[in-house]
Homo-oligomer: A and B are copies of this chain.
Amino acid sequence: MKPNIKTIIIVFTVIILACTEAFAGAQDPLPSWNDGPAKKAITAFVYDVTREGSPNYVRPVERIATFDNDGTLWAEQPMYFQFFFAIDRVKALAPNHPEWKDKEPFASLLRGDMKGVFAGGEKSVAELVMFTHAGMTTEEFEQIVKGWVATARHPKTGRPYTEMVYQPMLELLTYLRSNGFKTFIISGGGIDFMRPWTEQVYGIPPEHVVGSSIKAKYEMRDGKPVLMRLPELNFIDDKAGKPVGINAHIGRRPVAAFGNSDGDQQMLEWTQGGTGARLMALVHHDDAEREWVYGAESKIGTFSDTLMAEAKKSGWVVISMKKDWKVVFPFER
A residues whose Cβ falls under 8 Å from a Cβ of B: 61, 64, 138, 182, 191-192, 195, 199, 205-207, 209, 213, 216-219, 224-227, 240-241, 243-244, 247-252, 266, 269-270, 273
Contact = CB atoms under 8 A, between A and B. Distances in A.
A216 B250 contact: no
Given A209-B251, A225-B266, 7 more contacts: A138-B247, A182-B207, A191-B248, A206-B252, A216-B247, A217-B244, A225-B270
Contacts of A191: 248, 251
Contacts of A182: 207
Given A218-B243, A218-B244, A244-B217, A269 B199 contact: no
27 contacts: A61-B199, A61-B205, A64-B207, A182-B207, A191-B251, A192-B251, A195-B251, A205-B252, A206-B250, A206-B251, A206-B252, A207-B249, A207-B252, A209-B251, A216-B244, A216-B248, A217-B240, A218-B240, A218-B243, A218-B244, A218-B270, A225-B243, A225-B273, A226-B273, A227-B243, A227-B247, A249-B249
A269 to B, nearest CB: 5
Contacts of A243: 218, 225, 227
Nearest to A271: B225
A150 to B, nearest CB: 19
Most buried by B among A191, A227, A241: A227
A203 to B, nearest CB: 10
A240 B226 CA distance: 11
